[in-house]
């Protein structure tokens, strides 16, 4: 407690008050950003799961397309199959 009074005597009360207010703002921002980071991590996990589902659905659609093409005797769309190998985004069609 004596250190606080020594600091007030040395630099003045307004400066010490501004430092205390700055520390309070720092703690508040740290608390808020911790909550935001938790939300971002949750959303990142959800997006990864959705991306995995989209890839799985894309492969299933291509498999069904191949089955229907062979059942109906139609030539399959080779460009679409080539796009689905993971090198390019297969959802551009």
Separation CA 90–CA 93 (nearest Å): 7
Q: pLDDT band for 90, please (50, 70, 90 cuts).
A: very low
Please write down the HEC assignment for all residues of the chain. CHHHHHHHHHHCHHHHHHHHHHHHHHHHHHHHHHHHHHHHHHHHHHHHHHHHHHHHHHHHHHHHHHHHHHHHCCCCCHHHHHHCCCCCCHHHC
Rounded to an integer, what distance in angstroms lies between the CA atom of residue 25 and that of residue 15?
Answer: 15
pLDDT of residue 86: 60
Question: Does pTM top 0.95 for this prediction?
Answer: no
pLDDT digits (tens, 9 = 90+) for 35-81: 999 999 999 999 999 988 888 888 888 888 888 888 888 888 777 77
């Amino acid at each position: 407690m004596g250190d606080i009074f020594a600091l007030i005597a040395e630099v003045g009360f307004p400066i010490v008050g501004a430092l205390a207010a700055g520390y309070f703002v720092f703690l508040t921002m740290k608390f808020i950003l911790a909550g935001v980071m938790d939300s971002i991590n949750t959303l990142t996990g959800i997006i990864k799961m959705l991306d995995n589902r989209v890839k799985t659905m894309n492969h299933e659609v291509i498999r069904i397309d191949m089955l229907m093409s062979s059942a109906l005797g139609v030539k399959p769309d080779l460009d679409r199959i080539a796009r689905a190998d993971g090198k390019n985004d297969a959802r551009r069609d």
